[in-house]
Structure 1
Amino acid sequence: MAAGRVLFPLLLLFFFALPSSSTNSEGNALFALKRRLSDPNKVLQSWDDTLVNPCTWFHVTCNSDNHVIRLDLGNSKISGHLGPELGQLEYLQYLELYGNDISGTLPEELGNLKNLVSLDLYSNQLEGQIPKSFGRMRSLKFLRLNNNKLTGPIPRELTALSNLKILDVSNNDLCGTIPTDGPFVQFSYQSFENNNRLNGPELQGLVAYDFGC
């Protein structure tokens, strides 16, 4: 009986020392991202999938609860594609992937990042449309997608981003019209320049989809 009384607290200590399952899913999501990327300078070398907790990896920042809140891979010479697993990083606040050679489309699942404050994907080779799901990232303050190959209209769903302070979609191939509601009232022309098929602000409530995008 005495041995049982000693064993029980030890089991409790072991249980609480284990990483949370959410941290494990975050590590899995980041390792899935690593598999999608080409990394000639080996900046992701420390991303070891045998370590459940990714908070020890370079370029990853965690909070006091061991949840991933920041990913810093700007100007890292990585290439490849982004995948839906990024949407599993539910505590992420900063996603910095600018100045690389990342191609393909923007995953719809990025819209699941409700805590994201800054999304910096500028100066890559991204294609396709800006997902409407981005309108769900209500904490977003900085959205920089400039200097890519994005097409299609600016989603009106982005007008719901009441915290958005900085928007830059310049130097793409966007079309249609520029929304005028919500945070768009404060953005200057420079936020949208060098999109040859973008036709200026909306008129009389007409939306971008009406202009043959």
Structure 2
Amino acid sequence: MALHPLLSLLLLIAAGTSPSLATNSEGEALHSFRTHLSDPTNVLQSWDPTLVNPCTWFHVTCDNQNRVIRLDLGNSNISGPLGPELGRLKHLRYLELYRNNFDGKIPEVLGNLENLISLDLFGNRLEGEIPKSFAKLKKLRFLRLNNNRLTGSIPKELTTLPNLIVFDVSNNDLCGTIPIDGPFAHFPLQSYENNKKLYGPDLPPMISDAEEISI
């Protein structure tokens, strides 16, 4: 049965605008995230919510379908909480928020970013525990949480991450035992140092090329 011309037109419009609508939703999430932050050097001044999508904003990278895949705000002198809005960036691959003054807890919803490859939150003032939800990030290769104020234990659930090659939680206040299964069998001692209540296997320190030659 033939579709009514008006219905056909509406379907075409919906199909043609769906990527834009998705990206605009991501723009709304980023703008909502921004409203809770202090940005004394106006790093986020280009984040204009009236634009069609956030792909023209500084520090935001999109793919060829105008979906946000990277957020780079390292060394930006930004302070405030990591809002749950970040969990709406479903296509995000790189979340680079290192060396700022982000505080509060790491949102559990970051575990919903299943396309994430790199998560860099080091050098902030983050507190609370490492979310167990990170175990859902099966594509994650780099997880750097060092130099914060994190407490609690390293979730054993993270041992199921098949692609994790860099893990750093040094210079926090973690406690409990260091996991030894999965990728944790290969992380050097430096990944855990300066956590006074953290203990576990006697992991070998990383040997530099110069030391290896001298041996």
The TM-score range, normalised by the shorter chain, is 0.7 to 0.9
Higher strand share: 1
**Contact 1:19–1:53 under 8 Å retained in 2:** no
Separation in 2 of the partners of 1:52 and 1:104? 31
Answer with 111-120 or 192-201: which moved more: 192-201
Q: Is the 8 A contact 1:107 1:131 kept in 2?
A: yes
1:119 aligns with 2:126: no
Percent of aligned pairs with the same residue? Answer: 65
Mapped partners of 2:103, 2:9: distance in 1: 51
Moved more, 41-50 or 17-26: 17-26
Aligned to 2:72: 72
Aligned pairs, number: 198
TM-score scaled by length of structure 1: 0.87
The code of the aligned residue for 1:69 comes to I
| Equivalent in the alignment of 1:33 | 33
**Larger displacement relative to structure 2 (98-107 or 17-26):** 17-26
Counterparts of 2:145 and 2:14, CA distance in 1: 45
SS of structure 2 residue aligned to 1:127: strand
Segments ≥4 residues shifted beyond 6 Å: 8-11
Tell me if 1:186 matches 2:186. yes
C-alpha distance 199-45 of structure 1, shift in aligned 2 (>3 A): same
Gaps of 5+ in 1: 203-213
Structure 2 unmatched ranges of 5 or more: 203-215
1:51-102 per-residue CA deviation (whole Å, 9 max, x = no partner) reads 1311010000000000000000000000000111111111000000000011
The separation in 1 between residues aligned to 2:175 and 2:10, in whole angstroms, is 63
List aligned pairs for 1:1-213, cutoff 5 A.
12=12, 16=16, 19-201=19-201
Report the Cα offset of residue 33 of structure 1.
1.0
CA-based RMSD = 2.1
* TM-score in terms of structure 2 length: 0.86
Aligned twin of 2:213: none
Deviation of 1:201 after TM superposition, in Å, equals 3.2
Secondary structure of the residue that 2:151 maps to in structure 1?
strand
